[in-house]
Structure formats: C-alpha cells, structure tokens
Amino acid sequence: MTIFKKCIDFYISSSIHVALSCYSLVRMTCFMFEIQNSDAPAFFAFFGTIVGYNFVKYDALARTQKLQMRTELKAIIGLSFFSFLATVYFFFTLDKTTKIIAVVFLFLTLLYTLPFFPNRRNARNWAGVKIYIVALCWVGVSLVLPILNAGIAFDSTILLVGVQRFILIFVLVLIFEIIDLRYDDPHLKTVPQQIGVNQTKIVGSAFLFLFVLLEFLDVNFSIQTLLLKIGVAATTITFLLFANEKKSKYYSSFWAESIPILWWILVVLFG
C-alpha cells in the first residue's frame, strides 16, 4: 500500500494527472470537430502542461533553495526535462500560426511564475488574477490551439465551447481555492477569501447552471450532448458543494482533476 501511495503521490506531484486532464480536453476538441491530425497539439499540451505546472510549483522554491533535492524532486526534474524536450519537438510540428499562439500562452505561464517587473511579485500573487489566467490558458491550449492547427475557421459553436470550457475550469479552480484556503496567502484574494466559502459555492453552482443553459444556443443542439453536459455539471457541482478546508489533497488534485478526463470518455462513448 505504501508503494502504491508513493506512486500516486508522484503521479500527482509531478503533474502527470493534470497533464492528462489537459490532454483529454484536447482530444475531446479533436473528436468534437472531427480533427484527424490531432497528435501534435494533444502531446504538445500534455508535455507542455507537465513542464508549465512543475515550473510554477517548484521553480521559486528551487531558486530560493527552500526545497531540498529529495529523490522525488530529482525524479520530477528529470521528468520535466524530458517533457521539455518533447514539448519542443511537438512545438515544431505545429502550424506556423499555432506556434505564435502557443508562445502567447507560454508568456502567460512565465508571467504567472516570474517577477518581470522590479519590486513586483509575479502574476500568481496579483490579487484575484490567478483563476482567470489558469482558465484562459486551459481554454487556449485545449481548444484554440487544435482548432488553429487544423485550419478550422472560428464560428459561434467554437466560441460557445470556449465559454463553456472556461466556466468548467473556473469552477474546478474554485474547488482548489476552497481546499487550499487555510494555506493561501490572504493577499492572494482568491474568490473564497473575498466572498467566503458558501458564497463561492453559490457562484460556482450558478456558473455551472449557465454552463448547461448555454448548450441550448448551440446550432448543433442535441439531447444526447445536453445530457452529457448535465452529467458533467452535476458531477462538478457535487465536488464543489462538498469541498472544504479539511478535505485531503486527493479530493481536488486527483478526483476533481479527473472531471475533464471523465468528460472526454463520456463524449467518445456517447457523443
């Protein structure tokens, strides 16, 4: 059991699980819009997410030498280096326009991590900004990049999918913010810090209600797709409503983070 727990902890800590979630959303985009050549954006998203998230989580600690080079950290650094090489490889297989947009999201990740301006903290510490940057990056990587790479013209359906995906990621981040409430710096001004946990749950539930309602605006509306969205929304609301500061890290970092993977599986099976 100890070995299994260590494997799960490494799987989560090394950002493989969150990368799989992002990969799932890219694959779902390709399935929804019938994109055949989907390997490049999908694997770029997967390996890029590992690099980006590990950079965000461990860079500042490593640079200030607050984190000792434990065996697990060395393994994460090795995985991140391999993932960086893979990200570079798949980056060069992307379309020219897609490369430009990918660089934009890379800049957002760096802005989120590094203090570019003198006497300023990074964007991660800018009050109330974190949740929007995370949601925007996820929409960009999981939807915009594969659409651009396939040369598909943007229309109302893509915009609708983008808004729905932004809402889902936004609410998932709310779950993380509730779980991390006792650890977060008060100056971060996360949503739960500003309006309280109960109000955060109400706001998140309202957004998920909108997530479902937006489906009626889709020109390709179908009952089957609507039921899938209701299922995803209901699952996310359940995790949101039961979230509290006493929940373990697995509640958000594994189970809640699995919702995009579940969504992809449901779309492939029933979409």
The per-residue pLDDT for range 199-210, each reduced to its tens digit, is 999 999 999 999
The tens digit of pLDDT for each residue in 149-175 reads 999 999 999 999 999 999 999 999 999
Give the residue from 133, 196, 141, 135 showing the smallest Cα distance to 29.
Answer: 141
Rounded CA separation 138/209 (Å):
20
Task: Answer whether 177's CB lies under 8 Å from 185's CB.
Answer: no
Mean pLDDT within 58-71:
60
Checking if the pLDDT of 64 tops 70, the result is no
pLDDT at 45 over 70: yes
Residue 72, CA atoms < 13 Å, CB-side half-sphere: 14
Residue 220 has a pLDDT of 85
Rounded mean pLDDT of 32-61?
87
Per the structure block, which two tokens stand in for 261?
């993977």
- The pLDDT of residue 171 is 97
Residue 129: count other Cβ atoms within 10 Å of its Cβ: 16
For the stretch 170-196, pLDDT in tens is 999 999 999 988 887 777 788 999 999
Angle between helices 197-213 and 223-241 (to 10 degrees): 180
- Taking only the tens place, the pLDDT of each residue in 74-123 is 889 899 999 999 999 999 999 999 999 998 887 777 666 555 444 455 55
Give the residue among 102, 125, 121, 123 at the shortest CA–CA distance from 111: 123
Q: Is it the case that residue 126 has pLDDT exceeding 60?
A: no
DSSP SS3 for 166: helix
Mean pLDDT across the chain: 88
- Single out the residue of 181, 170, 180 nearest to residue 205, CA to CA: 170
Which is more confident, 131 or 233?
233
**Is the sign of the CA dihedral 119, 124, 130, 133 positive or negative?**
positive
Query: Distances from the Cα of 54 to the Cαs of 58, 88, 210, in angstroms?
Result: 6, 16, 32
For residue 223, pLDDT beyond 70: yes
